């Protein structure tokens, strides 16, 4: 599928990183957390802090696949009045100064469906979004948003999990593009640490089915973990640790923007170490 659609910023990024022998730091934050202005400042500074790809969470009241950290991030954003239009406006503002760093919108289907699928895809593309991750749209529901997204020129990022066995993987990889998000644990985001040995086996198995870059996420918190897991794939996704930093900095009356960027910098450093080891 990726051959039939125009190359996106995501494709360009992985090509460049491979040339540089680097792994991608995929940084997740929830749009509007803890408020619109702070969230915009965090977003705008993430590339300079070392993020290669940004996942921007579309907040939802009922995030079934997320652990407490991202649930709370959603609640903070919604309490501060975040809407889909504001989330798309954040991407437009970001694009005024950064035309290279890919942005992937991540979330659940209902807010998209209610906004209107066609309108959403059009507005997201126009704002400068590169890809989508919609957690509750498995391949069985590709007609809903995945196919229309590909036709709009947006990558629809697939999640593979420890339950994606060899029988299931072809279904998951059909229509996959951009990169493959490997969910390193059976569980919700940010709850338990992945076992590097098991992840290595799974990634090796998935490599036999696809040439897509593989990013590993769902339990990566520290620069050391980023280094270990980064070495196994093409990048790591960090989310819960970043949004927890927002909550903690705010709780202490500290600077959430600086705290998040500092953690991103440390994670990027960790990943650079991983690249040198391989």
Tell me how many residues contact other proteins (CB under 8 A). Answer: 44
C-alpha 153/C-alpha 130 separation (Å) is 8
Of residues 16 and 168, the one with the C-beta less far from other proteins: 168
Among 122, 168, 207, 252, binds other proteins (CB under 8 A): 168
Q: Which stretch binds other proteins (CB under 8 A): 26-34, 164-172, 209-217, 253-261?
A: 164-172
Q: Does 169 bind other proteins (CB under 8 A)?
A: no
Report the 3 state secondary structure along the chain.
CCCCCCCCHHHHHHHHHHHHCCCEEEEEEECCCCCHHHHHHHHHHCCCCCCCEEEEECCCCCCCCCCHHHHHHHHHHHHCCCCHHHHHHHHHHHHHHCCCCCEEEEECHHHHHHHCHHHHHHHHHHHCCCEEEECCCCHHHCCCCHHHHHHHCCEECEEECCCCCCCCHHHHHCCCCCCEEEECCCCCCCCCCCCHHHHHHHHHHHHCCCCCCEEEECCCCCHHHHHHHHCCCCEEEECHHHHHHHHHHHHCCCCHHHHHHHHHHHHHHHHHHHHHHC
Active site residue 62: no
Q: Does 274 bind other proteins (CB under 8 A)?
A: no
Among 62, 100, 166, 248, binds other proteins (CB under 8 A): 62
Please pick, among 66, 98, 123, 130, the residue that the annotation labels catalytic.
66
Among 1, 35, 95, 162, binds other proteins (CB under 8 A): 162
Active site residue 55: yes
Among 1, 35, 44, 113, binds other proteins (CB under 8 A): 113
Q: Does 60 bind other proteins (CB under 8 A)?
A: yes
Site for other proteins in 182-201 (CB under 8 A): 183, 185-188, 191
CB of 53 to other proteins, least distance (A): 20
CB of 4 to other proteins, least distance (A): 23
Catalogue the active-site residues: 55, 66
Residue numbers at the binding site for other proteins (CB under 8 A): 60-65, 67-68, 71, 75, 78, 83-84, 108-115, 135-141, 158-165, 168, 172, 183, 185-188, 191
């Amino acid at each position: 599928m990726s051959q039939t659609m125009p190359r996106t910023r995501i494709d360009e990024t992985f090509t460049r990183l491979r040339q540089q022998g680097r792994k991608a730091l995929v940084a997740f934050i929830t749009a509007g957390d803890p408020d619109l202005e702070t969230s915009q400042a965090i977003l705008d500074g993430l590339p300079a802090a070392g993020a290669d790809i940004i996942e921007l969470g579309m907040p939802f009241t009922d995030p079934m696949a997320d652990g407490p950290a991202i649930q709370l991030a959603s609640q903070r954003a919604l309490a501060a009045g975040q809407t889909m239009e504001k989330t798309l406006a954040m991407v437009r503002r970001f694009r005024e100064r950064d035309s290279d760093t890919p942005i992937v919108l991540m979330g659940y289907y209902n807010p998209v469906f209610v906004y209107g699928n066609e309108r959403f895809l059009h507005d997201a593309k126009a704002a400068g979004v590169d890809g989508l991750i919609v957690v509750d749209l498995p391949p069985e529901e590709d007609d809903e948003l995945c196919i229309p997204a590909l036709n709009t020129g947006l990558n629809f990022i697939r999640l593979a999990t420890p339950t994606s066995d060899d029988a299931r993987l072809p279904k998951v990889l059909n229509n996959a593009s951009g990169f493959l998000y490997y969910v390193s644990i059976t569980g919700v985001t940010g709850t338990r640490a992945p076992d590097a040995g098991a992840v290595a086996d799974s990634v090796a198995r998935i490599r036999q089915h696809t040439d897509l870059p593989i990013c590993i996420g769902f339990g990566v918190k520290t620069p050391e973990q980023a280094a270990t897991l980064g070495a196994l794939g093409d990048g790591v996704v960090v989310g819960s640790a970043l949004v927890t930093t927002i909550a903690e900095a705010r709780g202490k009356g500290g600077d959430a923007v600086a705290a998040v960027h500092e953690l991103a910098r440390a994670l990027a450093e960790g990943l650079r170490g991983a690249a040198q080891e391989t």
